[in-house]
Amino acid sequence: MKQCESVQKLVGRILRNYYLCDFCIGRLISKELCLKPSKSLGKRFTSNSKKSVVKKCFICKNTFEKLDQVIEHMIENSSTYQFSTFLIGSILKPSISDNDDIIRSKFKIKGVINVKNQINYELGKKFARKAKSKLDTNNPDLTFKIDFKDDSCKIHSRPVFLYGRYTKGKRNFPQKQKSCKNCQGKGCISCNFHGLENFNSVEGQIAKFVIRKFNSKQVKINWIGGEDKVSLISGNGRPFFVKILEPHIRKLQIRKHYVLDGIKLHDLRQIKNQPKDSVPFISKVIISVRSEQPLDNNLLKKLLTVKNTQLEIHNQDKRIVQKSIYDIKYKKTNSKSLKISMSVDGGVPIKSFIENSNVQPNLTKLLQNRCTCVQFDFKEITIMSDSCKN
C-alpha cells in the first residue's frame, strides 16, 4: 500500500511538469512495482491526474498510439515472404531518447527499460500475434527496420544456402558469368538486380534457376574448384554452394536432379550454412596433350615417378604451395599426342602442370619436350571433409 502511495506521488510530480502517455508512465513505474510495463499499468495511476485535453507525450510523441498502424504496414510488407521467426529494430527521432533520459534523470528513475526497447518489445508482441510467428534475436528469418522519422519499413530476409553438384556435357560453356557492366555485380535496375550480364554459363544457369525457385534477388556461388569453358564435367559432378540473398521462399521441396541448359544438377539440397574455410578436394582429370617433338618412350616412363609425390606451385607472391599427385597414368595416341589420367589435390593448375611454368615438376621438363594442354575434362571430384553434410 505504501509502495503504491509513493508511486502515485511520483506520477503526480511528473505530470505536474510534463505530459506523459499511459504507456510511458507504465514503463517508468514498472520497476518500482515489480510489474511488467504496460498501458493499463500507467492508466491505473494517471486516471485522476491527467487533463482531458489531448496532448503529445513529452517522451514518445504518442509513438505508442501509432503502433497498430505500424503493425499493419509490417504485415502488408511481409505478406510475400515465407517466415516463422523475426526481429524488429527501430530508428527514433533523437529527441525521444533524449527526453526519456531527461525524465529518468530528473526523477531519479533507475532500472527501467528505455523507450526504444519498449517500442520494439510492443511491436514484437503485437506482430507475433498477428503474423503467427516468433521473435528470434539470434537468427531470425526476417529482420524489420522501422524508421519512425520517415514512417518507412524495410525488410531483410536471412540468406538460404544450397549444396549441389553439376555435370557439364557441352564444350565452350564457361563456368563463371561476367558481372553486369553497370553495377559490377552489386545489382541494379539494368540487370534486374541479379548482378549478372546474362545467363550463358554454369553460374548463369544456376543463378537463374535458384532466383526463380526461391523468389530471390541475387545469389552468390562458392565453387569447389574450376574448369576451362571447353572442359566437360562428368561422374559425380563438381560440388558448389549457393548463398541465396533476400529469399521470399525459405522452405521448398527440391528434387535432387534437374536438367538445365548445358548442365545437370545433382544431389541438390538445402543446408544450414556454407563452409567458412576452403574445402579440400581431389579431382580425377583426363588431359589431352600435344608435344612439339615426337614423344620418347623412355622419358614417358618418368611420368610414373611423380605418383604419390607433391607438386610445388610457386605463386606470384613468391609463396610455395604444395599439392599431392595420388595417381597418374598415360597413353600415347600418336607420336606427338598423349592422354593423361591423374588424381590430384584440388587447386592444381592443370595447364601449368603440362606446360613449362611455375609448377615443379611439369610435363614439359620431365619429357624434355615442349608440351601443350589441348583440353582437360573432370571425371570425378571427391570432397575430403564433411562440409556438405549439414
**Which residues form the catalytic set?**
228
Euclidean distance between CA atoms 335 and 296, whole angstroms: 9
Euclidean distance between CA atoms 382 and 384, whole angstroms: 6
- Count Cβ atoms within 10 A of the Cβ of residue 304 and give its class: 0-12 exposed, 13-18 middle, 19 or more buried: exposed
DSSP state letters, 175-244: SS-PBPTTTTTS--TTTTTS-BS-S-SHHHHHHHHHHHHHT-SEEEEEESS---TT--EEEEEEEEEEEE
Q: What angle do CA 90, 92, 95 make, to 5 degrees?
A: 160
Coil vs helix vs strand at 341: strand
Strands (E), the chain: 85-91, 134-135, 142-147, 152-157, 160-168, 218-223, 233-245, 258-259, 263-271, 281-291, 309-314, 320-334, 337-345, 359-360, 371-383
Q: Which of 123, 41, 39 is nearest to 87 (CA)?
A: 123
Q: Is the dihedral of CA 209, 235, 366, 348 positive or negative?
A: positive
Q: Which of 24, 77, 30 is nearest to 50 (CA)?
A: 24
Coil vs helix vs strand at 75: helix
CB of 72 within 8 A of CB of 153? Answer: no
Q: Which three cell numbers stand for residue 258?
A: 534437374
Coil vs helix vs strand at 144: strand
Q: Which three cell numbers stand for residue 386?
A: 564433411
Stated as kind and residue range, the H or E segment containing 105 is helix 94-106
* Residues pairing with 90 in the sheet: 146
Euclidean distance between CA atoms 192 and 186, whole angstroms: 11
Coil vs helix vs strand at 36: coil
